[in-house]
Amino acid sequence: MTGNGVVLIPCDTILNREHAEFIERHHIPLDLLELEKLPHHTTNESLISKATEEIKEIFHYMRRKGTVPLEEVQRSIIPTIHQAAEYPTLYSVLSGLQAKDDYTYRHNIGVGVISTMIGKWLKLSEADLGLLTIAATLHDVGKIRIDDHILNKPGKYTNEEYAIMKQHTVFGYEIICNTPGIDRQVALAALQHHEREDGKGYPEGIQGSDISYFGKIVAVADVFHAMTSKRVYKDASPFYQVMQQMISDSFGKLNPVICSVFVQRMMEMSVGSEVTLTDGRIGRILMVHPGDPVNPSVLVGDEYIDLRKNHHLHIDRLNQ
Ligand SMILES: [Fe+2]
């Protein structure tokens, strides 16, 4: 933070090379900052790959037995996900979590990591955070009962196929409830992560306060991960467009508090990133404003542009 209270780089950020260049360019005295030896980006990527392999094994077990091997989940995957969520960078969230193969497995891990990050930002207790990670990592477990030809269909679903697909929420709930000793919140997250605040979600079409807290958190992480993922039938949406879409989804679809904390923190993680503006100019995100995180201030050459005051100018994309 500068002397006049402007947040340049959010607290707890692990500084990468871009941040270092940013600090140097803006002559920020380094003695004010605590520098740690930086983990390389691939650290997070390899953690995600490890957790993906582990969840694959666990899903195979569940397909055979119909229950969750809870001890195995707690022993193997949960610590890996907590480690991956420890020092997230925008790069690791956007590329480390993306589907390269095995989308269903990677998606569960991705939503597990993102939900854990959200849980920390919402300051959940350690016990609740542990439960949330399990709930998020198992949220789509019901898909093990959906036929592969529907699950991996590279195109739009027919109405009939979509009705079958929606059943994964109920199947997940049943599998988790079949497991002795598992917390009911875990089962509710599987059942309710496609419910929406306005009652237009599924499977039950319940509204607002009837949806469990974990169900709401997992919904935000699920929407983000699905939109930023490349699939056979769609390209990944650009990060900035996803952030804007999530702001508009926070009116009626997603929980507004959880969604705004998520967008604010993700945008703060983008401080220092290179962006292309809608007029083609290239700049760097300098500062994210609380209350209007999708319109940050950007430095283009020597010009400081506050996008809140330039209604015709927006970020077109984040350059990686
Ligand atoms: Fe789902």
pLDDT at 37: 43
- pLDDT tens digit string along 172-212? 999 999 999 999 999 999 999 999 999 999 999 999 999 99
Q: 215-242: buried (b, 16+ CB within 10 Å) or exposed (e) per residue?
A: bbbbbbbbbbbbbbbeeeeeebbbbbbb
pLDDT at 191: 98
What is this structure's pTM?
0.83
**What one-character DSSP code corresponds to residue 147?**
-
pLDDT at 39: 46
pLDDT at 99: 53
pLDDT at 163: 96
Q: Quick check: helix, strand or coil at residue 211?
A: coil
Distance 193 CA to ligand 1 centre (A): 6
In CATH, 42-236 is 1.10.3210.10: yes
pLDDT at 32: 47
User: How are strands ordered across the β-sheet holding 292-300?
Assistant: 303-306, 292-300, 282-289, 274-277, 315-318
Distance 173 CA to ligand 1 centre (A): 11
39's tokens: 């983990």
Distance 167 CA to ligand 1 centre (A): 9
Q: Is 164 exposed, middle or buried (0-12, 13-18, 19+ CB in 10 A)?
A: middle
Q: Are 190 and 169 in contact (CB under 8 A)?
A: yes
Distance 34 CA to ligand 1 centre (A): 40
Question: What is the full per-residue pLDDT of the chain (320 aa) written as tens digits?
Answer: 555 555 566 555 555 555 666 666 666 655 444 444 444 445 677 788 888 888 989 999 998 998 999 999 999 889 989 988 887 777 667 765 565 567 788 888 889 999 999 999 999 999 999 999 999 999 999 999 999 888 888 888 999 999 999 999 999 999 999 999 999 999 999 999 999 999 999 999 999 999 999 999 999 999 998 888 777 667 777 788 888 899 999 999 999 999 999 999 999 988 998 999 999 999 999 999 988 998 999 999 999 999 999 888 988 888 86
Distance 87 CA to ligand 1 centre (A): 26
Q: Cis check for the bond before 69: say yes or no (omega within 30 of 0).
A: no
Q: Is 156 exposed, middle or buried (0-12, 13-18, 19+ CB in 10 A)?
A: exposed
Distance 52 CA to ligand 1 centre (A): 17
pLDDT at 1: 52
Q: Where are the domains of the chain?
A: 1-38+271-320, 42-236
Q: Are 302 and 265 in contact (CB under 8 A)?
A: no
Q: Are 249 and 201 in contact (CB under 8 A)?
A: no
pLDDT at 308: 93
CA distance 32 to 17: 18
Distance 74 CA to ligand 1 centre (A): 21
Q: Are 76 and 305 in contact (CB under 8 A)?
A: no
The counts of H helices and E strands in the chain are 14, 5
- In total, the chain counts a number of residues equal to 320
